[in-house]
Structure 1
Amino acid sequence: MGKDYSEKSTELHTLCRSKERLGKKKFSSYREIRAAFVANLAVIHPGMMFSFSAMALPEMLADDSVIKITTEQASWIASIASFATPAGCLFGAFIMDRFGRKFALVFLSIPCILGWLSVGAAGFVAPHVSNDFALNIIYCGRMLKGFGTGIVAGASRIYTSEISTPRLRGTLTALASLGVSTGVLIGYSLGALFYWPVVAVLSALIPLASVTLTLIYLPESPTWYLTKKRSAEARLALQKVRDPALPAEKVDAELAHLGGVLESGGTHSTWHELSKGSSLKPLALVIFYFFTYQFSGISVLTFYNVQIVESTGANVDSSMAAVCFGVIRLVFNVIGCYLLTFCGRRFLTIASGVASGTAMLTLGVHHYLDATGIVASEAWLWRYLPILSIVFFYVSYSMGYLLVPWVLTGEIYPAKIRGLLGGITTCFAHSFLFAAVKSFPYLMENVGFHGSFCFYGCTVAFGSIILFILLPETRGRTLLQIESSFKRVPHVSTPPPQVA
């Protein structure tokens, strides 16, 4: 009897120890990270779309260009893609909520590929058709690219936030900004090597590769399946982005938590959910964030990089400078993704905004003092201060402002209407982008170089202070906790199971 009891006690002890070791086991995040990288390959395309005009417009404005354009037409080529993006954002929100996040990522390939091929074709056929006809093809191609960008802008970020654990969500959601910076660098590099029609055709390969890998590797978002009451498919999708060794009970616990996030919003209609303070408050904050983002100077530096560098008077190769700026942007975007793991969103907002605002003010004041002759110096530091200011702007901006608002888009909105609010947000973001890019030539004409960049500097610096005061911290919090922070009565919930 005593022996049997001893053996049973030993077995029980061994079982408890094995469960304890299982609870402490470090599970791999490889599948989660892979899914996030594949989803964000799609946003390389918008970065290439943004940088295309910076390299192509000087070639189009040259005397020997195959297409003759005016300064006004050049501003439309730069901005018309952003003009079409808001429509794509709203359509993308409908696609995301109706057919799924993965479907939206796949669907974007069609207008993007057609857009790039149209722009490339315009350059190749320009000698054989009228100038206006070729120009209209470029306009249509740019609009198709902008429309596709609107679809992917929200889909990639929302998909990433929904398949990520809280521990990695900030870093993985920030991959979207890293993808845009990668696209900007690729666009600048291709523009320095090839004539613009060739660049356009080569750029079509990016959305084609993205949709291929999406079809192969990505399951649909588990959260989207739950919104459609398809729990079995949600469980399978969640298993595909988690470690295969993860116990079934942990998968079920995480799925139950996701279901709790959705149920916390009740069963009201979409418009009722949209009218709630927990929806309108974060929406207003993020829209304001994107206003300061787009009118900070980053948009015009990306779209008109070569012309701006030439306007500074610094004796540098403007095309190679654009490539170097692209490298700086990408490198410090990577550093910013790392900082997101232990720095708060509010801290990065204020630090990045004030520093980059100072850089823009320095650029504007330098140009005013140099142009008016108040300061006349041939010193190396004075001559290259504009370039140093742009470098400092990219360094400080890339580690905060290029990342945080897009991260917030994926994590700050209620789960039930996250797709809709993500679409509305990106619609506003790209509307502001269009306004910033289209207004730049008019600002330059009416208030000059110094007035334009002083305006950008003040906008981002003061906007960052306001955001620091009003924006709640989201780092390390679950999506349900973030959503509850915007409600009158805070909702206390049990954190979801963590995959260590």
Structure 2
Amino acid sequence: MGRAPPALPLCASVSLLGGLTFGYELAVISGALLPLQLDFGLSCSEQELLVGSLMLGALLASLVGGLPIDRYGRKRAILGSNLVLLAGSLSLGLARSLPWLVLGRSAAGFAISLSSMACCIYVSELVGPRQRGVLVALYEVGITVGILLSYALNYALASAPRGWRHMFGWAVAPAVLQSLGLLLLPAGADDTAAHRDLVLLQGGEATKLGPERPRYTFLDLFRARGNMRGRTAVGLGLVLLQQLTGQPNVLCYASTVFRSVGFRRGSSAVLASVGLGAVKVAATLMAVGLVDRVGRRALLLAGCALMALSVSGLGLVSFAVPVDSGPSCLALPNATQQAGLPGGSDLLQDSAPPPMPRAGGDPQEPALSASKKAKTRPAGRDVRTPAPPALSTSSPATPGPAPQQAVLRWAALVCMMAFVSAFSFGFGPVTWLVLSEIYPVEVRGRAFAFCNSFNWATNLLVSLSFLDLIGAIGLSWTFLFYGLTAVLGLGFIYLVVPETKGRSLAEIDQQFQKSRLTLCFGHRQSLAGVQYSRLDVPVAS
């Protein structure tokens, strides 16, 4: 009896390695930025341009990437994005001027954004309902692991001469491994030559809609036909709420919260980066184990509810114990070497690594404006941009907190951990899983890209408005505002987002077609109108 090809492990590796590349590229700038500032003499605005160029490239990919995904196929889109990533990494590794650095970061942003969309769609179409949730969620696991890996390599290469070139170059490794795995997998669900492989992946049988299956175009996303307007509402609602709940901006104060409970100087950054990263990995792994058991809606509802409670608690605590502003950008390099990290790499000593956006988001954490002037909070404190460019590490000594204040500061830390965990098992992985399931195959790539463009654009908007919001209402009320947004998101998920657990893509499509209004409370709808045909596939002996 012949053995079935290891298609399922290969499919899992493609998802995991794609996320690992995404997460590594997002976070690698945290360790590379300070050496780049020293080597090139970058000003604050130049650092801001370098960090933000990745997000601009990703936004461009989300605007134009849907067409090649639908026209040339998901597999070719991933392979093409890996070639773009290789070109971007070469530009970064060999760069001798700022324009080449910006070009390389933009190319890397374009590549990871295109790959994230194509990878989630590819995996969701390639496997059956029982494995789809786990394998697509593995992409988010890869993102969190990639972020932690970038922290480790940044630390190891901090004292190496021109270490930043190696930091950027290592991003190619997971992309090459992913490409090798893709060569052993079928092109996609519509590839008739590979359909037997797909049937083996999906458990021994395949179903397809009858000849009356409708065809859709991009403009149908905004029409009532097939309830496409309702699907678009679900997709846009999830990506907007993912950003408007403030997850990226809250993380900008991670190291400040750690420092406020007594972890100062080098230990603050190590705990903020590695500690929060470990929490994100653990929470995402929990989502992988539960997404096909308890369902997408349950994870979204639980995650959104915990986000609302934790960020509101963070806002209430900051009323009683004012939270200091984050570190500010330094236009000129200075001697800020401190003990604890090799080479005096102070970027990771007093601040968390720069949050970056996720499209997949994790992604999911924005590059903030670093050149804005300080604004004043109502209490009179200077609030400066919590941005990634080279960071000030000087922190005035403060007396030890009173016992009651210590309790409140630790409560802020618990709220921060809970908030990160809630996002990592809710909006983080499940948003992109749902987006890869709810659209018809003809426009799935363009619809996914359309929603993803709103994700990146909203990310940018939320990031740029953060300081203005703090200046207008204060940090505490800003956190409470994010809590209110999460409560509204809870209502949206309960009323509008359907449950797709355990259903084939054809069943999900039929579910939307039979429902004029997308008001779903998790009940399984009748699918009697769907016509299926069994494919008899001989198994080689």
Fold similarity call, TM over 0.5: yes
Alignment: residue pair count: 438
The answer to whether 1:242 aligns with 2:193 is no
Q: 1:366 aligns with which of 313, 317, 331?
A: 317
- For residues 87 and 413 of structure 2, the distance between their equivalents in structure 1, rounded to whole angstroms, comes to 37
Q: Is the 2:221–2:232 Cα contact (8 Å) retained in structure 1?
A: no
Q: Which residue of 2 aligns with 1:182?
A: 145
- Cα distance, 1:350 vs structure 2: 1.4
Unaligned runs of 5+ in 2: 323-378, 381-400, 516-525
The answer to whether 1:152 aligns with 2:112 is no
Q: 2:454 aligns with which of 398, 415, 428?
A: 428
Q: Which residue of 2 aligns with 1:205?
A: 173
Q: Is the 1:36–1:172 Cα contact (8 Å) retained in structure 2?
A: yes
Q: 1:52 aligns with which of 28, 38, 46?
A: 28
Paired amino acid for 2:445:
G
Q: 2:484 aligns with which of 453, 458, 461?
A: 458
* Cα 1:432–1:49 shift into 2, 3 Å: farther
Q: Is the 1:43–1:152 Cα contact (8 Å) retained in structure 2?
A: no
* Cα 1:329–1:237 shift into 2, 3 Å: same
* Cα 1:166–1:190 shift into 2, 3 Å: same
Q: Is the 2:218–2:447 Cα contact (8 Å) retained in structure 1?
A: no
The answer to whether 1:288 aligns with 2:237 is yes
* Cα 1:149–1:268 shift into 2, 3 Å: closer
Q: 1:343 aligns with which of 268, 280, 294?
A: 294
- For residues 533 and 480 of structure 2, the distance between their equivalents in structure 1, rounded to whole angstroms, comes to 46
C-alpha offsets along residues 32-80 of structure 1, whole Å, 9 cap, x if unaligned?
243132244122222122223444456667xxx3344455544444333
- For residues 314 and 36 of structure 2, the distance between their equivalents in structure 1, rounded to whole angstroms, comes to 27
Q: Is the 2:77–2:118 Cα contact (8 Å) retained in structure 1?
A: yes
- For residues 296 and 67 of structure 2, the distance between their equivalents in structure 1, rounded to whole angstroms, comes to 29
Q: Is the 1:297–1:456 Cα contact (8 Å) retained in structure 2?
A: yes
Larger radius of gyration: 1
Q: CA RMSD in A?
A: 3.3
- For residues 496 and 163 of structure 1, the distance between their equivalents in structure 2, rounded to whole angstroms, comes to 18
C-alpha offsets along residues 271-309 of structure 1, whole Å, 9 cap, x if unaligned?
45763353221122111111111232332356x476655
* Cα 1:234–1:144 shift into 2, 3 Å: same
- Cα distance, 1:30 vs structure 2: 5.1
Q: Is the 1:168–1:341 Cα contact (8 Å) retained in structure 2?
A: yes
Q: Is the 2:186–2:194 Cα contact (8 Å) retained in structure 1?
A: no
* Cα 1:311–1:57 shift into 2, 3 Å: farther
- Cα distance, 1:351 vs structure 2: 1.0
C-alpha offsets along residues 221-265 of structure 1, whole Å, 9 cap, x if unaligned?
123x2xxxxx3x1424425x539xx8xxx5xx51xx23x17x454
- For residues 319 and 272 of structure 1, the distance between their equivalents in structure 2, rounded to whole angstroms, comes to 48
* Cα 1:137–1:437 shift into 2, 3 Å: farther
Q: 2:280 aligns with which of 326, 329, 341?
A: 329
- For residues 216 and 492 of structure 2, the distance between their equivalents in structure 1, rounded to whole angstroms, comes to 33
Q: 1:85 aligns with which of 48, 55, 58?
A: 58
- Cα distance, 1:475 vs structure 2: 1.1
Paired amino acid for 2:185:
L
- Cα distance, 1:158 vs structure 2: 0.6
Q: Is the 2:231–2:439 Cα contact (8 Å) retained in structure 1?
A: yes
- Cα distance, 1:171 vs structure 2: 1.5
Q: Is the 1:29–1:242 Cα contact (8 Å) retained in structure 2?
A: no
- For residues 33 and 318 of structure 2, the distance between their equivalents in structure 1, rounded to whole angstroms, comes to 23
Q: How does 1:19-58 map to 2 (within 5 A)?
A: 31-57=7-33
* Cα 1:219–1:429 shift into 2, 3 Å: same
Q: Is the 2:13–2:181 Cα contact (8 Å) retained in structure 1?
A: no
Paired amino acid for 2:432:
W
Paired amino acid for 2:284:
N
- For residues 31 and 174 of structure 1, the distance between their equivalents in structure 2, rounded to whole angstroms, comes to 17
Q: Which residue of 1 aligns with 2:249?
A: 300
Q: Which residue of 2 aligns with 1:119?
A: 92
C-alpha offsets along residues 375-415 of structure 1, whole Å, 9 cap, x if unaligned?
x7345433333322221112222122212111101111112
- For residues 421 and 193 of structure 1, the distance between their equivalents in structure 2, rounded to whole angstroms, comes to 41
The SS at the match of 1:411 is coil
- For residues 311 and 192 of structure 1, the distance between their equivalents in structure 2, rounded to whole angstroms, comes to 20
- For residues 354 and 338 of structure 1, the distance between their equivalents in structure 2, rounded to whole angstroms, comes to 20
The SS at the match of 2:39 is coil
- For residues 32 and 495 of structure 2, the distance between their equivalents in structure 1, rounded to whole angstroms, comes to 41
- For residues 209 and 101 of structure 1, the distance between their equivalents in structure 2, rounded to whole angstroms, comes to 17
The SS at the match of 1:475 is coil
TM score, norm. by length of structure 1: 0.78
* Cα 1:355–1:267 shift into 2, 3 Å: closer
Q: 1:352 aligns with which of 282, 290, 303?
A: 303
- For residues 457 and 189 of structure 1, the distance between their equivalents in structure 2, rounded to whole angstroms, comes to 33
Q: Is the 2:220–2:228 Cα contact (8 Å) retained in structure 1?
A: no
Paired amino acid for 2:314:
L
Paired amino acid for 2:231:
P
Paired amino acid for 1:37:
S
TM score, norm. by length of structure 2: 0.72
* Cα 1:281–1:423 shift into 2, 3 Å: same
C-alpha offsets along residues 70-121 of structure 1, whole Å, 9 cap, x if unaligned?
5554444433322221321243321121111110110111222333343344
Q: 2:214 aligns with which of 259, 266, 273?
A: 266
- For residues 221 and 302 of structure 2, the distance between their equivalents in structure 1, rounded to whole angstroms, comes to 34
* Cα 1:346–1:39 shift into 2, 3 Å: closer
Q: Is the 1:357–1:456 Cα contact (8 Å) retained in structure 2?
A: yes
The alignment-based identity, stated in percent, is: 22
- Cα distance, 1:218 vs structure 2: 1.9
Paired amino acid for 1:204:
V
